[in-house]
Amino acid sequence: MGMVGGGRGAFIGAVHRMAAALDGEVELVCGAFSSNPERSRLSGADLYLPPERVYGNYEEMIKAEKKLPEGERMDFVAIVTPNHVHYPPAAMALKNGFHVICDKPVCFNLAEAKKLQKLVKKTGLLFALTHNYTGYPMVKQAKMMVQKGKFGAIRKVVVEYPQGWLSTRLEASDQKQAAWRTDPKRSGAAGAMGDIGTHAENLAEYITGLQIKRLCADLNTFVEGRRLDDDGNVLLEFDNGAKGILFATQIAAGEENNLRIRIYGEKGGCDWHQQEPNTLLVRWLDKPTEIYRTGVGKLYPEAEAHARIPAGHPEGYLEAFANIYRNFALCLRAHLAGKKPPKLYNDYPTIEDGVRGMRFIEKVVESSKSKQKWIRF
Q: Alpha-carbon distance 229 to 120, whole Å?
A: 31
Phi-psi region of 48 (alpha: psi -120 to 50; beta: other; left: phi over 0): left
The pLDDT assigned to 29 comes to 98
Is residue 280 scored above 90 in pLDDT?
Answer: yes
- Model confidence pLDDT, tens digit, residues 69-90: 999 999 999 999 999 999 999 9
User: If you average pLDDT over residues 12-39, what whole number do you get?
Assistant: 97
- Model confidence pLDDT, tens digit, residues 293-317: 999 999 999 999 999 999 999 899 9
Domains along the sequence of the chain with CATH: 2-129 (3.40.50.720), 136-310+355-372 (3.30.360.10)
- Model confidence pLDDT, tens digit, residues 95-111: 999 999 999 999 999 99
Please tell me whether the overall predicted TM-score, pTM, comes out greater than 0.85 for this model.
Answer: yes
The pLDDT assigned to 356 comes to 98
- Model confidence pLDDT, tens digit, residues 150-183: 999 999 999 999 999 999 999 999 899 999 999 9
User: If you average pLDDT over residues 38-48, what whole number do you get?
Assistant: 97
Is residue 6 scored above 90 in pLDDT?
Answer: yes
* Confidence grade of residue 9 (pLDDT, cut at 50, 70, 90): confident
The pLDDT assigned to 177 comes to 94
Sheet holding 212-220, edge to edge: 290-293, 279-284, 268-273, 260-265, 154-162, 243-249, 231-238, 212-220, 375-376
Is residue 219 scored above 90 in pLDDT?
Answer: yes
Is residue 195 scored above 90 in pLDDT?
Answer: yes
The pLDDT assigned to 174 comes to 84
Q: Alpha-carbon distance 176 to 196, whole Å?
A: 17
* Omega before residue 162 within 30° of 0, cis: no
User: If you average pLDDT over residues 57-65, what whole number do you get?
Assistant: 98
The pLDDT assigned to 206 comes to 98
Q: Alpha-carbon distance 361 to 197, whole Å?
A: 8
Is residue 366 scored above 90 in pLDDT?
Answer: yes
CA distances to 42, 43, 195 from 50, in Å: 11, 11, 34
Is residue 36 scored above 90 in pLDDT?
Answer: yes
The pLDDT assigned to 373 comes to 86
The pLDDT assigned to 191 comes to 98
83, 187 in Cβ contact below 8 A? yes
Is residue 26 scored above 90 in pLDDT?
Answer: yes
User: If you average pLDDT over residues 251-255, what whole number do you get?
Assistant: 98
